[in-house]
Structure 1
Amino acid sequence: MKRRRVVQLTALGGLTLPLAGCTNEAAEDDGNETDNETDTDTETSADGNGDSEDDEDGEDDESTDEPEDQEFSGSGNEAIEDVSIEGGLTVIDATYERSSDEGDDGEADDNESEDGDDEFEVRLIPEERLAEDDQDGSDTDDERNATDDEAETDTDDAEAADDESEDEPEPVVFVKSEFVDSSGEYEGQTAHPVVEGTYVLSVVADGDWEVTISQPRDESGEEPPISVDGSGNEVHGPFEFDGSHQPSGEYDGERVIADIYPISDDPIFVFHENSIENPSEFEFEGVGYLSVKSDGEWTVEIE
C-alpha cells in the first residue's frame, strides 16, 4: 500500500527597503511608493489575509504526522526488540517464501503443511509482558530447585495461585497481537488497532520473510461508492465515510471477513462468509481502511 507523505513548504516574503539620501521629488515619490508597497506586504503577511504562509499553516494544522514505516527482513524464527508503536491503526505487510530445501517434492510439502512445520506467524508482543513472563519463569525455577517436601508443597501452592491469577482480568495492552498465522508461502496485509508502546516483533518461519509495519494517519480519503477486488489478505484505503453505507460482495473461497478500521477506534464489521449474501448496513463517519481476509479471490462494494 502506498503511504502519503506530508511535504511542508515555507514561503519567504521579499522585503524592499526605501532609498535614502535622495533630495529630488521623483526620488521622494519613488520612496513613498516603495514604502507603501513594503507596508502592504507587511500588513498582508501579518493579518493572515495574504498568500502563502497562513494558508500553508492552515494546511499543516489539518495534517497529522504519520510515523515512518519500519521494515524488517530475515530467515527463520526471529524476535526483534524495540519496535515502537505510537498507538492506533497498525498495518503489517508481510511476505514469506519457503526455504530452498522445500518445494522439491509436492507430496512432502503437503505433509509439512499438515504437520504445521511450514507455518508463518507474525506477532507484536509488548516488551513489558515478556519481561513479566521471564520473571515469573525465574521464580518458578527457583522454587522447583527445592529438595525437601515442604518446599515442593510451597511450589505447588504457588503454581496454583498463578493459575488463579491468570483467570483475573488484566489491563488490555493491545486488541490483537497476531497479524499473520498461515501455512505455506504468504503475501498480504493485515490491520489491527494497537496500543502505544514498545513491542517485540515475533516471527515464526522456515524460510525468508519480509515485514513492513506502517501506521497510517490519513484525515481524508476516497468517498463511496467504493469497489475493490483482490485475493487473500489485503488492506485498502483510505476511505472517507459519512453516515449509513450498504456493503455487498462476492468470493470464491471458503472464508472471508471484511471490516472497516478507523485510525483510532475499534473496527466496524462489514460482512463475513455467512452474511455476504445479505449484509446489513453499517454506520460510520470518518476515515477508515477496508481490511479483507480470505482464502480466495473476492470483491467488495460499498455504497
Structure 2
Amino acid sequence: MNRRTLLLASGVTVSSALAGCTGGSDDGDDEADGGGDGNGDETDSEPAESSDADSPQPDDETSGAETEDDDATRPTPQTLSGTGDASEPIGIEGGLTVVESNHEGTESFRVEVAADDGARAIFADNTGPYEGEKAGLLEAGNYTVDVSADGAWHLTVRQPRATAEAADGLPQTLSGTDPVVAGPIAFDGGHTAHATHDGDGVFQIRVFPETGTRPELVVLEQDEYDDSVSFDFDGLGWIDVQADADWTLEIE
C-alpha cells in the first residue's frame, strides 16, 4: 500500500499520518455530507476500542478541547480501532469533520457515520488495504460509526478549526497518491484549478468550509484526468481530494 506524498507550495497545514478513501470511494455519488445506504448486520467480530465511546458528548468544562496558537479552538480528535465489523458512538460538535481511516484487511472496508434520524455519511468505501482521509459537514449531535471490515482498522475523527491568521494563501500546489484533506487555505472568490489523475477510478476534488451544508465541487471525473477548471469559493476552506492513484493539484 502506497503512502501519500503531500507537497504544499506555501506550507499548507495538514494534520496527518493519515487516511480520507483504492485511495478513494468506489462510488463518486457517496458524499460525506449526504446520505447513503448502510448495513446494520450484527457480527461476532472483535469489538472496537474507543477513546470516547463512554462519553460521546463531552461536557464543555472537561472536554479537553485543543487550542491552537492562533486562538482557534477545535474539539479533541477521537480515535477508534478494532478488527472486523463494529459500531461505536461518538459526539460531533458540528461543522467540518474529517475521518482518517486505515485498514489492513483484504476484503471490503466501509466506514459510515450515522445520525439518530437515520441519515448516513460515507467516509470510506474500498476493497483491500486502505489509508486515506475524507471530509464531511455534520450537524452537532450524537452519531454511530459503523465499520465493515475483515481485518484490523484504525480511525481518527477530527473537527478542524482555524482563524484567518492561521490560513495559508494562494497559489498552492499539492500532490499525492492517497485521499487527503489539506487546509486551512484562504480563498477570496474566483479561482482556477489545474488537476491531474493517473488512476482509473473516481477522481473528486471539493473545497469544504468550516461550517455550512455543502462543499464546493471542483472536479468529479472517472479515470485519467488532466484539465483546468474555474470555481468560486470565499473564506477559509479545506481541500478534499479523493483518488485511487497519483494526482496533482495547482490552485490559484
State the TM-score, normalizing by the size of structure 1: 0.57
Aligned: 1:92 with 2:105: no
Residue 128 of structure 1 deviates from its aligned partner by: 4.8
What corresponds to 1:196 in structure 2? Answer: 140
What corresponds to 2:112 in structure 1? Answer: 123
Deviations 1:80-131 (A, max 9, x none): 12x1001111000010002xxxxxxxxxx6xxxxxxxx100111111354xx
More strand by share: 2
Deviations 1:154-194 (A, max 9, x none): xxxxxxxxxxxxxxxxxxx5xx5111110000000000101
* Aligned ranges 1:1-303 → 2 under 5 Å: 1-2=14-15, 5-6=66-67, 63-81=71-89, 83-98=90-105, 118-129=107-118, 177-220=121-164, 221-254=167-200, 255-265=202-212, 266-273=214-221, 277-303=226-252
After superposition, the Cα gap between the structure-2 partners of 1:272 and 1:128, relative to the gap in structure 1 and judged at 3 Å, is closer
Residue 247 of structure 1 deviates from its aligned partner by: 0.4
Give the RMSD, CA atoms, in angstroms.
2.2
Gaps of 5+ in 2: 1-13, 17-64
Provide the C-alpha distance between the structure 1 equivalents of 2:227 and 2:144, rounded to a whole number of angstroms: 40
Deviations 1:51-89 (A, max 9, x none): xxxxxxxx7xxx3321000011101110012x1001111
Provide the C-alpha distance between the structure 2 equivalents of 1:128 and 1:292, rounded to a whole number of angstroms: 28
More helix by share: 1
Cα pair 2:66 2:75 within 8 Å, conserved = no
What corresponds to 1:17 in structure 2? Answer: none
Residue 276 of structure 1 deviates from its aligned partner by: 5.2
Residue 5 of structure 1 deviates from its aligned partner by: 4.8
- Which 4+ residue blocks in structure 1 deviate beyond 6 angstroms? none
Deviations 1:3-48 (A, max 9, x none): 895368xxxxxxxxxxxxxxxxxxxxxxxxxxxxxxxxxxxxxxxx
Provide the C-alpha distance between the structure 1 equivalents of 2:130 and 2:235, rounded to a whole number of angstroms: 31
Residue 238 of structure 1 deviates from its aligned partner by: 1.1
Q: Secondary structure at the match of 2:229?
A: coil
Paired positions, count:
186
Cα pair 2:195 2:227 within 8 Å, conserved = no
After superposition, the Cα gap between the structure-2 partners of 1:283 and 1:276, relative to the gap in structure 1 and judged at 3 Å, is farther
Provide the C-alpha distance between the structure 2 equivalents of 1:80 and 1:272, rounded to a whole number of angstroms: 31
Cα pair 1:270 1:279 within 8 Å, conserved = no
Q: Secondary structure at the match of 2:73?
A: coil
After superposition, the Cα gap between the structure-2 partners of 1:5 and 1:225, relative to the gap in structure 1 and judged at 3 Å, is farther
Residue 251 of structure 1 deviates from its aligned partner by: 1.2
Provide the C-alpha distance between the structure 2 equivalents of 1:252 and 1:280, rounded to a whole number of angstroms: 18
Q: Identity of aligned pairs, percent?
A: 32
Deviations 1:255-289 (A, max 9, x none): 31111011112111112336954433111111111
Q: Which has the higher contact order (CA 8 A, sep 6+)?
A: 2
State the TM-score, normalizing by the size of structure 2: 0.68
Provide the C-alpha distance between the structure 1 equivalents of 2:247 and 2:100, rounded to a whole number of angstroms: 19
After superposition, the Cα gap between the structure-2 partners of 1:286 and 1:205, relative to the gap in structure 1 and judged at 3 Å, is same
